[in-house]
Amino acid sequence: MQHLPTEALLARLRATHLGSAVEPALQLAVERNAGRMRPLSDQPYLYHLVEVALQIFEVFGIRDEIATVIALWHDLLEDDQISRDELLQYINTRPALVRLGDLLPLLDGLNRHNKTTEQYYSTIAILPPQAFWVKTSDLLSNTRPMPLLDWQRLKPRWIAKYSVELAREVLDVGRFEQKRAYPTIRNALLDVQQRLLSGLQNDEDRWHEIAAYDPRFISSAQRLLNLELGSRA
């Protein structure tokens, strides 16, 4: 799959001049993800983190320094790449990060550990909007390549997970509709998901394989296919 080299994506992020905290946040992300690769891709994992940060600005139209930092760090605690104490020490020794205030509640909220899916999204709904922007950009980064990949490389649980979560937790619940940039975010996610599901409908065996993995998939998929782009229905 074609993609920009990571260095080119980094250059684009730096060119946005989203704030002085971005560089120390990026330094930690680079350090903790050295050698790590993204699943089903030849991309370094750092590419995903930078893409999540950049999409908030380029796709959602939001300039927000805190959201950019959280995007670069959104997997640090969940993937056990750093302890909370280590992260707090890193923040407290860098004035550009200190001035942003307490970032840990946002990172804790984006950490799925010991949360059901419902608890996870309910937490994101009550946090400052940066949590929602980062999570939806993460979903977009993870789903955008899917329509271009061979179905056999996509595990049924991945397709079911994203279809069910998008339909039931993000796009068709109502709790996020008042968040800034929601219509733009909704359309970006829905466009990708509809392309994935429209293609998948032509592979009946694969469709039923995914449905067998998660019984909620069919109703969620049909709901996503029936939702209209450009509306908030």
pLDDT at 7 over 50: yes
1 — pLDDT class (breaks 50, 70, 90) = very low
pLDDT at 2 over 60: no
CA atoms lying within 13 Å on the CB side of residue 66: 16
> In DSSP terms, which residues pair with 44 in a beta bridge?
37
pLDDT at 232 over 50: no
Query: How much is the mean pLDDT over the chain?
Result: 91
- pLDDT top residue among 1 and 25: 25
Min mean pLDDT across 74-78, 97-101, 197-201 is at 197-201
Residue 203 to residue 147: CA distance in whole angstroms = 13
Mean pLDDT of all residues in 4-20: 93
Encode pLDDT of 128-176 as tens digits.
999 999 999 999 999 988 876 666 677 888 899 999 999 999 987 788 9
Q: Determine the length of the chain.
A: 233
Tell me if 109 sits within 8 A of 131, measured CB to CB: yes
Which residues lie closer than 8 Å to 228 by C-beta, 6 or more apart? none
Residue 197 to residue 88: CA distance in whole angstroms = 42
pLDDT at 19 over 70: yes
3 — pLDDT class (breaks 50, 70, 90) = low
DSSP track, 69-99: HHHHHTTTTTTTSS-HHHHHHHHHT-HHHHT
In the chain, what are the domain boundaries?
1-113, 145-233
Tell me if 189 sits within 8 A of 171, measured CB to CB: yes
pLDDT above 90 covers what percent of the chain? 76
233 — pLDDT class (breaks 50, 70, 90) = very low
Mapping DSSP onto H, E and C, the string for 4-58 reads CCHHHHHHHHHHCCCCCCHHHHHHHHHHHCCCCECCCCCCEHHHHHHHHHHHHHH
Residue 117 to residue 123: CA distance in whole angstroms = 10
Encode pLDDT of 78-97 as tens digits.
998 899 999 999 999 999 99
- Report the pLDDT value the prediction gives residue 151, as an integer from 0 to 100: 63
pLDDT at 105 over 70: yes
Residue 173 is classified by DSSP as S
Residue 48 to residue 52: CA distance in whole angstroms = 6
Tell me if 208 sits within 8 A of 159, measured CB to CB: no
